[in-house]
Structure 1
Amino acid sequence: MGVHFGVSTFFVFCLLALSANAREFRITARPGSDITGELSKLFKEACQCVDKSTVLIPKGEFKLGEIEMMGPCKAPIIFVLQGTVRADGNVNGKDFWVAFRRITNFRLNGGGIFDGEGNASWRANNCHKTSLTQCKRLPISIRFDYITDGKVRDITSLDAKNFHINVIGAKNLTFEDIRIVAPDESPNTDGIHVGRSDGIKIINTNIKTGDDCISVGDGMKNLLVERVTCGPGHGISIGSLGLYGHEEDVTGVKVVNCTLRNTDNGVRIKTWPSAACSTTASGIHFENIILQNVSNPILIDQEYCPWNRCNKNKPSSIKLVDIKFKNIKGSSGNKDAVKLLCSKGFPCKNVEIGDIDITYNGKDGPATFQCSNVSPKLVGKQCPKACSSPVTKQPGH
């Protein structure tokens, strides 16, 4: 007499996997194959299992097309990339190459490589020269959208066509031991861009790219950037802010114990003049930063207007409040060591500069410290001499 279980074949498969203590969903395609279809199928199956599962891409090189791995899932998921996945060249205005979305209790690790194959596409990326609505969009390599309680560690993003990693809507997501690699001439290849998220950590990460190593968009709350090495690249940036309407406040950004080498900028905050919104960026703290031949080491730029795409006569309406630059040392690639260029419409408030020691050995004169529309509080040593006095000295200095 037959037995009718009243469950789907797939659910039976999950139960059998659990009973055998084997909850691994492994790519079986040969190296060199396109695994897009198989990976999509395996992820959907893993996402429906009622206990923790692992999706594994083994060692070897594989082709991978656009893929979206969407939750919510019934249990935690571990995604292990041991090999290398290579993007195809067919972009067609796509927004992403790989997307992980709406997953709780997510892990991504394995030591593998996401190779965006960006070299052939960078020539088509003219977004840094023209209107953002007119340029040809290239895909972000890896998106993490609405991930809750996640950790991404020990992976490499290589030669992204556009941003390497983009995070939006995440809560309690950590990136650790990440390697990001692209040449310094690759356009718009921000290393890690975060926005509209709460509780993001970027730790012990090495970023070499053609744009900002880390960029912070609107709506970011409680971001920790620690032990990050950046260069080449455009530095670690809050913003740009104010380009779009309906942007949200930025609050609680801490950048500590980081090293920047041969970058176009150091630590900076950038907002657009003639901003499309009026928001606040507050509680931003840069501390214990090492500089090696960094242009514009410390920069607040509230007249950020690349390629003259804005009205500079209208001051930025983004308010900057409670900003600290402390214990920042090293060498500048030009004489503009410190530039605090705040908005004349909304001057910066509660800016503290403490123990700055930045040298410049160029023939065009000593390093300079410029201020506009700000009266910073000065603590400890200032080299170059700060734009404002008096200097207050904390105990122990």
Structure 2
Amino acid sequence: MGNLKVAAMFLLLLVSTAKAHPGAVFDVRKYGAKADGKSDISKALCNAFKEACAYPTPSKVLIPKRTFLLAQVSLEGPCKAPVKIVVRGTLKALTDPSKMKVDGSWVTFQYIDRLTLSGGGTFDGQGSKAWGTCGLKSYCKQLPINLRFNFITNAIVENITSKDSKQFHVNVLGCNNLTFRRFTISAPEHSLNTDGIHIGRSTGINITDSNIATGDDCVSIGDGSRQITITKVTCGPGHGISVGSLGKYKNEEPVVGVTVRNCSFFNTMNGVRIKTWPASFRGSVSDMHFEDIIMNNVSSPVIIDQVYCPNNECNAKLPSLVRISNVSFKNIRGTSSTPVAVKLACSSGIPCRGVEIADIDLRYTGKEARAAVSECSNVRPKIFGKHSLTICT
């Protein structure tokens, strides 16, 4: 009889829990969130996530179709089961950076396994009032990044927009098996240091079916990144898709296995690029493959730059010590807004090895009546296929 009573009490507990959170949906409005344009919902969101994270079966945090004001927030696991965060509305950041903690974050997700962020909503960093606070030489580290993913595993971000971040839109650190799908990044060309997605020390990061328009690199790949796949991404405006810059700091980890395929670039400063500092610490970049890419009015469509030294912040006379090997550029076509459509400036100290170039069709469309050209140093690439310009002679 005692066992029956315990079972009955457990059943009642399950029923009451289901009534409190039907289908394990944790709506931020039930935690006090108000869409009045002035009430910060960070406490409500944290409380909703905390309960969802502790729920024993898959759960969902819901931000409905409204506009909400959100201060800095960190959503942290580990969680007991998969968690979906469904953002259907618009989340707006505070406009005054001085009212935010100086930790470089607006919304942070960390130490969560099996996270899904989706819903068609927008994270609006309201960065336009902050961009002017940074000079061209200032890195603006005090300004918050829209979305940080720290040590996230087996996760998907899809049907989400990041708009007008004050600094980087997305920073990925220490993550494994994270996919961005149908992800939109929107910021004007003049926005400073607003990299779209920056990846560092992470493995198995996939970006696909996405549109990135911003004022810096559409995607930037830092040290320790492995098995990064970027497909069907439209980039522009922006500075292109970049591996690096690398070699500035001691003990940087190798970058291995980057594939950029079936992507399009429109009116960007660069197309596909690998960049390392001169006078650098030792490092390595290997297995880089850029294939089936369209360039439309791109300033530097194909570039390896091992003398990257913005604002003369380094000794350009000393060679880079970052080794670049096993790189291919294949089936890249379109137009270049500058005469030098292909530039491979490798290190004089450690020349590039294993570089392959195949089927490059890039036409110069500037005012000068001349054809596109290539410039190459410290590299002897293998040339295959047909080309609209002479490569590395």
The TM-score with structure 1 as length reference comes to 0.91
For 1:71, which of 64, 69, 77 is the aligned residue?
A: 77
Contact 2:104 2:141 in 1 (8 A): no
Decide which structure has greater helix share: 2
Q: Does 1:292 align with 2:296?
A: yes
| Residues 15/91 of structure 1: CA separation in 2 closer, same or farther (3 Å cut) | farther
| Residues 14/374 of structure 1: CA separation in 2 closer, same or farther (3 Å cut) | farther
Map of 1:246 onto structure 2:
251
Q: CA deviation at 1:31?
A: 1.2
Map of 2:166 onto structure 1:
161
Q: CA deviation at 1:322?
A: 0.2
Structure 1 distance, partners of 2:352, 2:237, is 29
Which secondary structure does the structure 2 equivalent of 1:37 belong to?
A: helix
| Residues 13/346 of structure 1: CA separation in 2 closer, same or farther (3 Å cut) | farther
Structure 2 distance, partners of 1:362, 1:157, is 33
Instruction: State the one-letter code of the partner of 2:236.
Output: G
Map of 1:40 onto structure 2:
46
Map of 1:314 onto structure 2:
318
Map of 1:82 onto structure 2:
88
For 2:115, which of 100, 106, 120 is the aligned residue?
A: 106
Map of 1:395 onto structure 2:
none
Map of 2:149 onto structure 1:
144
5+ unaligned residues in a row in structure 1: which ranges?
A: 6-11, 389-397
Which secondary structure does the structure 2 equivalent of 1:203 belong to?
A: strand
For 2:58, which of 45, 52, 57 is the aligned residue?
A: 52
Map of 2:137 onto structure 1:
129
Contact 2:259 2:290 in 1 (8 A): yes
Map of 1:16 onto structure 2:
17
Which secondary structure does the structure 1 equivalent of 2:114 belong to?
A: strand
Contact 2:297 2:365 in 1 (8 A): no
Instruction: State the one-letter code of the partner of 1:25.
Output: F
Contact 2:160 2:183 in 1 (8 A): yes
Which secondary structure does the structure 2 equivalent of 1:381 belong to?
A: coil
Equivalent residues in 2 for 1:1-397, closer than 5 Å: 16-17=17-18, 21-28=22-29, 29-32=33-36, 33-92=39-98, 93-126=102-135, 128-130=136-138, 137-275=142-280, 277-364=281-368, 365-388=370-393
| Residues 35/257 of structure 1: CA separation in 2 closer, same or farther (3 Å cut) | same
Instruction: State the one-letter code of the partner of 1:263.
Output: T
Instruction: State the one-letter code of the partner of 2:365.
Output: N
Q: CA deviation at 1:362?
A: 2.5
Deviates more, 1:157-166 or 1:378-387: 378-387
Structure 2 distance, partners of 1:24, 1:333, is 51
Q: CA deviation at 1:14?
A: 9.9
RMSD: 1.7
Q: CA deviation at 1:169?
A: 0.6
Q: CA deviation at 1:150?
A: 0.2
Map of 1:8 onto structure 2:
none
Deviates more, 1:236-245 or 1:148-157: 236-245
Which secondary structure does the structure 1 equivalent of 2:211 belong to?
A: strand
Q: Aligned pairs, how many?
A: 374
Structure 1 distance, partners of 2:200, 2:223, is 5
| Residues 53/106 of structure 1: CA separation in 2 closer, same or farther (3 Å cut) | same
Contact 1:61 1:84 in 2 (8 A): yes
Contact 1:125 1:137 in 2 (8 A): no
Structure 2 distance, partners of 1:279, 1:306, is 20
Structure 2 distance, partners of 1:295, 1:123, is 25
Q: CA deviation at 1:222?
A: 0.4
Structure 2 distance, partners of 1:19, 1:138, is 39
Structure 2 distance, partners of 1:91, 1:373, is 45
Instruction: State the one-letter code of the partner of 1:59.
Output: K
Structure 1 distance, partners of 2:15, 2:180, is 30
Which secondary structure does the structure 2 equivalent of 1:179 belong to?
A: strand
Instruction: State the one-letter code of the partner of 2:46.
Output: S
Q: For 1:143-168, what per-residue CA distance to the aligned partner results, in whole angstroms no more than 9, with x for missing partners?
A: 01111100000000000000001101
Contact 2:344 2:379 in 1 (8 A): yes
Q: For 1:43-70, what per-residue CA distance to the aligned partner results, in whole angstroms no more than 9, with x for missing partners?
A: 1111111111100100010000000000
Contact 2:125 2:166 in 1 (8 A): yes
Which secondary structure does the structure 2 equivalent of 1:297 belong to?
A: strand
Structure 2 distance, partners of 1:136, 1:96, is 10
Deviates more, 1:32-41 or 1:65-74: 32-41
Q: CA deviation at 1:89?
A: 2.4
5+ unaligned residues in a row in structure 2: which ranges?
A: 7-12
Structure 2 distance, partners of 1:13, 1:125, is 54
| Residues 14/115 of structure 1: CA separation in 2 closer, same or farther (3 Å cut) | farther
